[in-house]
Amino acid sequence: MHVLVKLAKEAVEIFVKEGVIIPAPSELTPEMSEKAGVFVSIKKKGELRGCIGTYSPSTHNVACEIIQNSISAAAHDPRFAPVGTSELKDLEYSVDVLSAPERVSGPADLDPKRYGVIVKKGDRRGLLLPDLEGVNTVKEQIEIAAHKAGIYGDDVELYRFEVRRCRQFDR
């Protein structure tokens, strides 16, 4: 199991079983010690069970981002009830470490398989990760991200980012 996914899994399991937030590992790998936004996705039998993240760093390092966002995905995603102890054995995790977002001039600079998108209008921001099942066009990607943030109309700013995706069965 990839080290970042192992940390996400451990954070969720200990929080769900004991109500404890684990500390970051005392020995950080180079990828854990950098600062970056992180999304943690949890699936149960192939269906989304929770997904929470940050598009820019909000803690000391990637390890802390993973711990914070793993617990939030399991316990605080408003779309789902908190994960229960009986579900832990059925969960699969993925961790996306995001590059810094860069503003683009328009949809021609996007690719839904390669880049995630942030749609911004005023104080509202909607984000969609790249390479998601069922999202095949730039238009779909922008519409979904905008809808998530309650953004309507065409006068928006677009940003793109790349991810380093680590799944449960990656090494």
Tens of pLDDT, residue by residue over 150-168, are 998 888 999 999 999 998 7
C-alpha distances out from residue 23 to 79, 108, 126, Å? 27, 42, 30
Query: Which domains can be identified in the chain, with CATH numbers?
Result: 3-98 (3.30.700.20), 102-164 (3.30.1490.150)
pTM of the model: 0.89
Tens of pLDDT, residue by residue over 91-145, are 999 999 999 999 999 999 999 999 999 999 999 999 999 999 899 999 999 999 9
Tell me what pLDDT residue 168 has.
72
Tell me what pLDDT residue 1 has.
86
CA-closest candidate to residue 49, choices 9, 99, 17, 18: 9
Q: Over 70: is that where the pLDDT of 85 sits?
A: yes
